[in-house]
Amino acid sequence: AGGGRLLERIRKWYYNAAGFNKLGLMRDDTLHEDDDVKEALKRLPEHLYNERVFRIKRALDLSLKHQILPKDQWVKYEEDRPYLEPYLKEVIRERHEREAWNRK
């Protein structure tokens, strides 16, 4: 149990050290947009896609101004949810299935 708490503290520290949350971004906002991620983005519900676009535009604006959000607006580790992950897993599973089918 003690090791689990230590690991969780390290994860939180690393999350904050990465800095993207200080710009209002979530972890899934920072994924490299390869073909799988692009396809997963197409499958996102409109409200999730719009929220992502807003966060990215705000982060770009803040970055250009060399600013960060006030601390009370940072995305907290506990609040960051993998909104894109379920769609991405489905896209990857489908691609692997397609590749396996084409090898036959």
Domain boundary assignment for the chain: 2-103
Q: Which two tokens stand for residue 13?
A: 């520290």
Instruction: In whole angstroms, give the CA distance from residue 23 to residue 74.
Output: 7
Phi, psi of 67 (to 5 degrees): -125, 165
| Confidence at residue 55, expressed as pLDDT on a 0 to 100 scale | 98
What stretch of H or E contains 92?
A: helix 85-103
pLDDT 10s digits, 7-26: 999 999 999 999 999 999 99
C-alpha–C-alpha distance, residues 29 and 7, integer Å: 23
Tell which CATH architecture fits domain 2-103.
Answer: Orthogonal Bundle (1.10)
> What digits encode the pLDDT tens for the residues 33-89?
999 999 999 999 999 999 999 999 999 999 999 999 999 999 999 999 999 999 999
